[in-house]
């Protein structure tokens, strides 16, 4: 559905001679990414309303989406699977937040953040089959994810003293992003081993 709409929007621009034939794949990918982000945001917002989470889905989505742009990580093969995984990730995140918020333990946040940082330092950015990146892009994405990770870490430290629940949401969201990076890395390694056995 998203791909069809992206194709129609792109063909509309091409037919009006707004874009060239060479730009078609770029615009299709851009529209797909934009439409998928809108659907994802509406999905998370709807789940937040159903679960009476107030502002929490917005914090989750901003941290999750911004981080994933530069970190990469597991990507489902279809938009339906992507939405199901995103919904599951959000529910897991909120469940963990609700279970841990009353402990007000800074140690828990430290564990989540250290796991995230260790994964980012070791693996990020992780390319995916839909969007391969050049070495120059990889270096640029790595610089950006390291800067963003530093910003998240400082923000979490400040929020621990001001609004613990927000700090916990950010930390757990980053933890989940790190888990998705590890999953993609494991799948990539498995694919490489499979290809080596095949040859």
Which residue, chain included where needed, has tokens 């091409």?
Answer: 14
CA distance 70 to 149: 10
pTM: 0.85
pLDDT of the chain along its 199 residues, tens only?
778 888 888 888 888 888 888 888 878 777 777 888 888 899 999 999 999 999 999 999 999 999 998 888 887 778 788 889 999 999 999 999 999 998 878 899 999 999 999 999 999 888 766 666 678 888 998 999 999 999 999 999 999 999 999 999 999 999 999 999 999 888 878 876 766 676 6
């Amino acid at each position: 559905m998203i791909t069809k709409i992206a194709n129609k929007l792109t063909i509309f621009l091409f037919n009006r001679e707004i874009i060239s034939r060479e730009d078609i794949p770029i615009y299709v990918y851009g529209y797909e990414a934009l439409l998928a982000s809108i659907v994802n945001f509406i999905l998370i917002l709807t789940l937040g309303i159903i679960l009476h989470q107030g502002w929490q889905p917005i914090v989750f989505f901003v941290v999750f989406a911004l981080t994933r742009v530069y970190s990469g990580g597991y990507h489902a093969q279809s938009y339906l699977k992507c939405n199901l995984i995103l919904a599951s990730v959000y529910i897991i995140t909120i469940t963990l937040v609700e279970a841990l918020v009353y402990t007000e333990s800074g140690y828990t946040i430290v564990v989540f953040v250290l796991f995230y940082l260790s994964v980012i330092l070791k693996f990020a950015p992780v390319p995916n089959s839909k969007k391969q990146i050049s070495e120059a892009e990889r270096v640029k994405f790595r610089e950006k994810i390291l800067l963003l990770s530093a910003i998240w870490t400082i923000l979490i430290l400040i929020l621990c003293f001001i609004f613990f629940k927000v700090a916990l949401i950010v930390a757990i969201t980053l933890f989940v992003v790190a888990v998705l990076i590890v999953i993609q890395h494991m799948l990539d390694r498995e694919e490489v081993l499979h290809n080596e056995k095949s040859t």
